[in-house]
Amino acid sequence: MRKIAALILASAAGALGAAASASTTSTLVSNAPWWEKITVTLSGDGKAEACRYETSLKTTADDCDVASNEAAMVSKASENKGEVTRITFERRFTPGAAPAKPNLETGDTLLGGEMMALAIDAKGAVKDCKMVAQSGAMRPQYSCDDATAERFQASYGAGKNSAEREGYMTILVYGHTEHMV
């Protein structure tokens, strides 16, 4: 599973980044927690069967695409018939204090993760980013450079609402393998 995940990591990370780019200041909020994730389902022969984009900011999920060249590489990397693997690339935003250790669903295996502390100004720009934690062998290809390119919803009004906000961006890569009967 790690080899498969490594081969599609760049593709899905790029897709998550593209989804993030599509999430403009109207959707990324800095005063409430939110998450978004891309889940790629692979058959036992390594072929991408499905790709799904979900976010807590929207009630419905969308289909997404895995680049054909990454899917072709994955198909050569796996030969386990009767197996379905899901690999999920997720980012979570938590305003204020650092979040607790992320919980995964039963059966999911954490492949890699990182947490960044962000300072977001009243106009929604990330003014400062610091990597505060990293784990796993497969670290996401999302860095402070990517985080500072994000645009959050601008704070409106005066007083506390217009002050700089702090938050934490957690990026996770995890997998789940099921043996089909």
DSSP 20-44: HHHS-TTT--SSS-EEEEEEEEE-T
Q: Residue 167's pLDDT is what? A: 95
Q: Residue 149's pLDDT is what? A: 93
Q: Residue 180's pLDDT is what? A: 56
Q: Residue 33's pLDDT is what? A: 93
Q: Residue 73's pLDDT is what? A: 37
Say if CB 67 and CB 11 are below 8 A apart. yes
In the chain, where the domains are located:
2-179
Q: Residue 50's pLDDT is what? A: 85
Percent of the chain at pLDDT above 70? 67
Q: Residue 84's pLDDT is what? A: 59
Give the residue among 96, 95, 130 at the shortest CA–CA distance from 115: 130
pLDDT in tens, the chain (181 residues): 444 444 344 444 444 544 444 444 346 888 899 999 999 888 777 777 889 999 998 887 787 876 544 443 334 334 455 555 888 999 999 999 899 888 888 888 889 999 999 999 989 999 999 999 999 888 888 899 999 999 888 765 444 555 788 999 999 999 887 665 5
> In the numeric block, which tokens belong to residue 27?
């959707």
